[in-house]
Structures are given as structure tokens and as C-alpha cells.
Chain A
Amino acid sequence: MTVDPNAATQGVPSPEPAAGGGGAARYLVPALVAAAVAVALGAYGKVHAPAGTAFNLAGFSSTGAVKSWLATAAFALALVQVVSALMVYGRLPGPGRAPALHRWSGRLAFLVAVPVAVHCLYALGYRSSEPRALWHSLLGCVFFGAFSAKMLLLRSERLPGPLLPLVGGLVFAVLTVVWLTSALWFFRTFGVTV
């Protein structure tokens, strides 16, 4: 009944760079990795019997509160992502350090989001019993897939102009819905608690 929690993650293929960087592989590999990551996460959430709970952080009243604040931090960093991306592309006036800002705020947002996802998948699992849970579960998996694709695309040079902004925008949009259906819902339901 209980699945080794480490087993499913082994199903996530370690992101291999496109060998040789040949034409179609530049797009195919990120797309396949994205699909594999999303499906693997969803399958793990569905197959693994939810543990109900996981360890909490000191100082917070509940894991729900911890996750909501971490998710909110990730969302705030995602807003920084949008603004700094506009700077990188020259749509907004920005400092010369805009690319570094974009890179590091993105990294931080991702690393902040990972524990939230681990808790979701480990303690709650993939749920489709109500629309909010369904959309959150679905898009939560899609987010990490899309993010993986975005990271892998960055390794290719001379991509078609609008591709990176499009994928980045998709990652941001998905994260927004994931946040709306979790942290915002939590704060509205249980109050803005620490």
C-alpha cells in the first residue's frame, strides 16, 4: 500500500542536455522532460497513500500556514521575475544587474516552492474531489514540468524570439493559479495566521 517515497522521483529523468543540440531536439527534449516531470509528480501523488501530515516548522501553527507563507513568498518572487524579465528584454528601464536579479529571484522562488510541493505530494496527494483541489493538483504538477522546460530551454542558444517569454509567462500564469487555489484560499478560509 505504501510506496517508497523515493521511488517515484527516480522516475523523473535527470535533465539531460540535448546531445549535439540538433534542431528539433532543442524543443523536443524540454517538452518531453516537462511532460515526464508533470506526469511523474501526478502519478506519485495519486499512487502514494497520503501520509496526512509531515513535519512542521517551529513557530508556525500548522503546516498549512507554513506552506501558505512559502507559496506566497514564491509568488512574490514570481512577480519580481515578471518585472525583471521586462527589464532584461528592455521593455522597462532597469539596472544592468537585471539579468542577475532575474536569475537569482527565480532560483529562490523555485527552491521556496519545492518544500511546498513535497509536502503537498507526500501528505495530501493528488486530489480531484472538488474543483479547487483538482485545479491545484493538476496545475501544481504542470508548474514543475513547465519550469523544467524553461530551465532546459535556457541552455539552447538562438531560440526563436518569443519562445522564452512565452514559456516564462506560462510558468508564471500556472504558478498564479496554483497560489490562488491554495495559499489565498487558505488565508481566506482560516484567516491570515502565522
Chain B
Amino acid sequence: MKRSGPLLTLLAGLLLALCMLTLNATTGTRAAPYAQGDAAAPAPASSGPPAGEPPGPSPSKTSAGTSSASPSPDVPPDADYAGRTDDGSSAVAVSLREGRAVAYFCDGRDREAWLKGEAGEDGGLALTGERGAELTGTLTGRHVRGDVRVGGRTYAFTADRAVEPSGLYRATATVRGAEYDGGWIVLPDGRQVGVLGRDGERSAAPRIDPEAGAVTVDGRRLAVRPVTP
């Protein structure tokens, strides 16, 4: 007589896998941690620098998309993407929510740009930012491939699907009259590329702790939030 134990083991595993898949499929992405973006989304706009300040990026732009752009069922799925430019000098992250997109480009030293726009049904992205920054890209299931134009230079980039804790993060705060505005891209390999602006003066940003949602800047702990459109 043959042993049935091993077969039962395999079947139990298969059953468990099917149960979990069903749970995942029925729960959907709505229950995902990033779906808390309702709370996180307005945050970047909360303490941005005044509009008249030339060097500071304008986070308030990210909140402009509150108009009732009703999400069509055909828009690309909500997701985050992060990757490097082809020349390896800089990083690019794109976050998609209900057809709206926000992107961030930074070189980890002094060059950065926030961009926003819409994602087309065909997966096409055309985003714009301050001072003529532009991003065009195409979304396929697992990555965004495109070009970003910042400061007169064009960089080709590929951004892979990023899953927490990798992705796009931002910290804005006013500490003793000084305006801090930092952007970070946590790449899928765990590396970080970030630029921190102090009153519009940009420099390399310290590492953030994406799990804790915090960064220590000049001895002070600032809150870091995932960025969503």
C-alpha cells in the first residue's frame, strides 16, 4: 500500500495557496497599505514653500488634482514605480492613483523635480513640473520606460514596479523658521536617492527610515510620508 502522507501534504499546500489567492483577489488592492494614501496625499502640500520662492519645488502643485476627475475603469492600476536613469546618475519614481500620476526626479545631490499629470488609458504618461520639467513615459505591467527633461538635460529612465518599503517619499516641515523639503526615492534594491532643500538650498539628503516614516535632519526627527497623487 502506498503512503498517502506526502500527497496530503502537497494537497494541503495547494489548498492553502488557493485560499490565500482567493483572499488576495477578493480583498483587492483597496486594503493595501498604500490605500491609506487618502491621509498621506494632502501631506506634501501642507507646508510647502510660498509660491513666490523661486528655488523651492512647489509641492502645492500635487494637491491641484483634487478636481473630480472620475476614474474610468480603464486607467492603469494604482502602483508605484522606481528606478534609475540610463546613465545611472539619477533616480526617477512614479506613483499612480486612479489615473493621476506624480513623479519625482533627483540626482541625490542638488538636482530634483516634482512632476504631475494624468495617466492615459493606453499607459501613456505626460507629466509636467516647474521650470519646464517634463516627463514622458509608457507604462507596461511591470515598469515605466521614458524620458525626463530637467534643467535642460534629457534623461532616459526605466522604473520598475516598487513595493513598500521602496517607492517615493517626501518630508516637508518648518523648523525654527527654516523650510525643509526633502524627496526620496527608495529603489527596489533598497538603495535611496534623495535631495533635501533647506530654505531652497539643495543638498544630498540623509537616509530615511521608510518603515518608521522618519528621517533625522540636523538633529531633528521629521516625518516622511509616501507620496501619492
Contact, CB under 8 Å: B24 / A118: yes
- Pairs A–B under 8 Å by Cβ, sample size 17: A1-B141, A2-B77, A5-B22, A17-B7, A49-B141, A51-B77, A52-B29, A52-B77, A54-B27, A55-B27, A103-B5, A115-B20, A123-B163, A127-B142, A148-B10, A150-B6, A189-B189
Bound CA–CA A132/B160 (angstroms)? 14
Given that A110-B13, A190-B211 are known contacts, is A51 also in contact with B6, CB under 8 Å in the complex? no
- Chain A residues within 8 Å of chain B by Cβ, number: 53
B12 contacts the other chain (CB 8 A): yes
Nearest-neighbour CB distance to chain A for B149, whole angstroms, equals 24
Q: Which stretch in A59-67, A75-83, A88-96, A169-177 binds the other chain?
A: A59-67
Interface string of B109-142 (1 = CB under 8 A from A): 0000000000000000000000000000000011
Given that A62-B33, A111-B12, A155-B6 are known contacts, is A52 also in contact with B189, CB under 8 Å in the complex? no
* Residues of B that sit less than 8 Å from A by CB: 2-7, 9-14, 16-18, 20-25, 27, 29, 31-34, 77-80, 141-143, 160-161, 163-165, 188-190, 210-211
Bound CA–CA A185/B190 (angstroms)? 9
Contact, CB under 8 Å: B29 / A53: yes
Contact, CB under 8 Å: B21 / A5: yes
Given that A148-B10, A191-B211, A193-B211 are known contacts, is A9 also in contact with B21, CB under 8 Å in the complex? yes
Interface of A is mostly: helix
Bound CA–CA A144/B51 (angstroms)? 56
Residues of B contacting A111 in the complex (Cβ-Cβ under 8 angstroms): 12-13, 16
Known: A21-B2, A55-B23. 17 other contacts (CB 8 A): A5-B22, A6-B21, A9-B18, A15-B7, A49-B77, A49-B142, A52-B32, A110-B13, A114-B13, A115-B16, A122-B24, A123-B24, A124-B163, A130-B189, A151-B7, A152-B6, A152-B7
Bound CA–CA A12/B14 (angstroms)? 9
Bound CA–CA A54/B27 (angstroms)? 8
